[in-house]
Structure 1
């Protein structure tokens, strides 16, 4: 069987999101090659994936089919590209067809149903490390808190109104990854975030029973790219000034 090259070399949320595609192809017994940018390679350290999935570093490593990957890297195709010795899935540039449908299009390109994508993301969690971060953030005082994230990959969008609970902001903490925030996420009394990878991680963790607020990162604002992706009871806001906690 020909190897499958899945080209989605970056974006943290997208790497979570396409795990069902990865596992669907891997389940056929085919070799799956997923080049990743160095800056996002840590994501694969947080995921449980089949043994026949390879994640070489695109920036620096030599790997099988590297020449083919570099040749096809900027190609767009709405179905698998069948080469003589490989199958190539161009997922990274699906947004060129329709930016507001970019998530749906990844699954259309792969020919895989998207509906239960979050059930196929298996996290490698270090519970002790998560608890340490929880204490380091001063959240072990028993006071309800709102986890706030105002930053996406392209900009920061300050929220003008404060949450009714104590606020803790998602931020880089040396030695911890986004997945290490899972306990903080699970124990939050409320979550408010710009549309970014945190929102998809909340879906993976299946957070229910607390208010979930999401603000569009697009200009003009839109939630078209999320309408088939998010299954939890999110409250949607076009702009930060529209965010209402009451």
Structure 2
């Protein structure tokens, strides 16, 4: 069988989201090539994937790299069948419809999307997560709200304060988003702009606490999320609509 090249080289949330696609092709015995940008290498390092999945870095030489770079900006709503490989163009699916970009990744791949989060297996370092928890000063027993006002494109400040102590998602040297999993699990509530944190919460299956999500789009929309979020999120079109009571 020809190898399948799945082109989604970046964006942490997307790399979590497509794991069912990756594992479906791998389970069929296909050699799966999943190139990644150097800046997002850490995501694959934190995922458990089948042995027949390869994750070369785009910045370095590897088999089919020239072909991948040639096809990188191509868009197609079905697999591109070449003589030597199958190419899934997932990265630029947003060009068809930005607010349907997540659904379209699964449409291109011919894979059912519903239980995508069940197919993400994290390689967690619990000791490291505990160190981050303590480093953030959260071992004082005080309930806290995890707040994220950043997405990949902009900063969206929340004008209203949470009733708990607020802890903001931030870049902490030596830690990745996955290392925040313990902080996420122990939070009394989570409020976030529509971004990768929301998808990680889905993967961790966080229940029994308020979950708030604010649209990142202008004009605001939740079309991208409506089919992929299964937890009991509270949705807000604008940050000023975010109410914690």
Shorter-normalised TM-score: what interval? over 0.9
Report how far residue 67 of structure 1 moved. Answer: 1.3
- Partner in structure 2 of residue 8 of structure 1: 8
Secondary structure at the residue paired with 2:106?
helix
Task: Name segments (4+ residues, structure 1) moved above 4 Å.
Answer: none
CA shift digits 1:60-89 (9 cap, x unpaired): 211111111011111100000000010000
1:110 matched to 2:109? The reply is yes
CA shift digits 1:114-145 (9 cap, x unpaired): 00000000000001111111111111111100
Report the RMSD for the aligned CA atoms in angstroms.
0.5
Report how far residue 30 of structure 1 moved. Answer: 1.0
**Alignment gaps of 5+ in structure 2:** none
Matched ranges for 1:128-139 at <5 A: 128-139=127-138
Matched ranges for 1:5-154 at <5 A: 5-58=5-58, 60-154=59-153
Secondary structure at the residue paired with 1:193?
strand
CA shift digits 1:154-174 (9 cap, x unpaired): 011010011000000000101
Secondary structure at the residue paired with 1:41?
helix
Secondary structure at the residue paired with 2:36?
coil
CA–CA distance in structure 1, aligned partners of residues 19 and 174 of structure 2: 25
Secondary structure at the residue paired with 1:167?
strand
CA–CA distance in structure 1, aligned partners of residues 69 and 177 of structure 2: 29
CA shift digits 1:10-60 (9 cap, x unpaired): 0010000000000000011111001111111110010000111111111x2
Report how far residue 239 of structure 1 moved. Answer: 0.8
CA–CA distance in structure 1, aligned partners of residues 111 and 65 of structure 2: 25
CA–CA distance in structure 1, aligned partners of residues 174 and 98 of structure 2: 34
TM-score (norm 2): 0.99
**Alignment gaps of 5+ in structure 1:** none
